[in-house]
Amino acid sequence: MRGKNDHGIIFEFIPIGSYVKVSAIDTRTGTEVSIVGDPKRGEQALRMTARRKLEMIMAKTAKPPRLGGLSV
């Protein structure tokens, strides 16, 4: 079950020769990442790798929370 703050990820698989390009797009922010992998690894493994990369990029670009006007 998803919480109210959860969102989805769209995956796109594009075969390129003997490899496959997997794009993962966050539906809330539009952030997109891509990986290239061996299709023999299987769709689930490629999805997990793309998802991890997307989560890493989104964590890096997340804005720090505001302190609500407090001075430090």
The residue that leads in pLDDT, 71 or 3, is 71
pLDDT per residue as tens digits for the range 18-46: 999 999 999 999 999 999 999 999 999 99
pLDDT band per the 50, 70, 90 thresholds, residue 62: confident
pLDDT band per the 50, 70, 90 thresholds, residue 14: very high
Average pLDDT, rounded, for the chain: 87
Give the total residue count for the chain. Answer: 72
> What percent of the chain has a predicted confidence (pLDDT) above 70?
76
How many CA atoms does the CB half-sphere of 31 hold within 13 Å?
18
For the CA atoms of 60, 63, 67, 72, the dihedral, rounded to the nearest 10 degrees, stands at: 60
Instruction: Walk across the sheet containing 19-26 and list its strands.
Output: 9-16, 19-26, 32-37
